[in-house]
Amino acid sequence: MTVLQVPGVANLRDVGGIPVGASRVRGGRLLRSGQLARLTPDGDALLRQRVRRVVDLRDDSEVRTEPSALSEVRTTRIPLFLGSTASFFVQDMDLAGMYRHLVYDSSERLAQALRVIAEGEPTLVHCTVGKDRTGVTVALALSAVGADRQAVVADYALTASLLPKARTEAVVEYFRTHMPDSRHAVQLATESPAPVMSALLEEIDERYGSVAEYVRQAGLSSAELDALRATLVE
């Protein structure tokens, strides 16, 4: 994978180069990032050179608060959480629970996101931070086409180190002050532990036989799965 520097975008990278058997993921086909609200004019021009489609996984309130500054790129909105993201903090849910919620309660929407990627245009998938909704979606897309499991998990785990340090420090201080009894809030907001993603993908394998079979049952046809593979794999 390649970390990209575009002004105004955090946690932006191209997952091209991840091994898939004897081959690898194509460069320039699938990118991931945090929200695009702070994209500068120069960043806008740079990003438009790289992507032709955007999949925005945020809910309505997030989009209203931080509308995308990316221009002239077709965007498909697929809100993954059926409720507010704040509810996970109120429930003090851990990351593993959040990801299971995504996989089992938003499977059709995850399949819809993979369907957009399978259309073959250079696509950027993002949410607000680019960690959880984006992390699960990208991990499923890569795993569905047979990408190396360790590399998929490593890509997910990289996120925490790419989040702006000032943001992470501010988030930690906020939760310590306003939610001192929360056990999982800091993890939900700032961490991307490899064991959590590894366990999620293993659980999908156990329940469905493979991630490819999971996305089929979620609504992706065999033809669309073939198209996803043709899009992503050299």
Output the CA–CA distances (angstroms, integers) from residue 81 to 33, 110, 115, 177, in the order listed: 18, 10, 18, 26
Q: What is the pLDDT of residue 178?
A: 62
Active site residue 127: yes
For residue 86, pLDDT over 70 is answered with no
The DSSP code for 26 is: P
**Alpha carbons 16 and 7: distance in angstroms, whole number:** 21
Task: State the average pLDDT over residues 138-163.
Answer: 96
pLDDT-derived band at 63, boundaries 50, 70, 90: very high
List 25's β-bridge partners, or say none. Answer: 233
Pick the catalytic residue: 127, 147, 211, 228?
127
Q: What is the pLDDT of residue 85?
A: 61
Task: State the average pLDDT over residues 69-83.
Answer: 88
- The burial class, CB within 10 Å (0-12 / 13-18 / 19+), for 22 is exposed
List 54's β-bridge partners, or say none. Answer: 75, 124
Q: To the nearest whole percent, how much of the chain has pLDDT over 90?
A: 75
For residue 87, pLDDT over 70 is answered with no
Outline where the chain has alpha helix (H). Answer: 41-50, 60-65, 86-90, 95-105, 107-117, 133-144, 149-162, 165-178, 185-190, 194-208, 211-218, 222-232
**Structure tokens given for 117:** 């990627």
Q: Which domains, ranges and CATH numbers included, belong to the chain?
A: 2-232 (3.90.190.10)
174-229 residue pLDDT tens:
667 766 666 667 677 778 999 999 999 999 999 999 999 999 999 999 999 999 99
With H, G, I as helix, E, B as strand and everything else as coil, classify residue 33.
strand
CB proximity list for 201: less than 8 A, separation 6 or greater: 139, 143, 149, 152, 153, 211
Pairing label, strands 13-14, 30-33: antiparallel
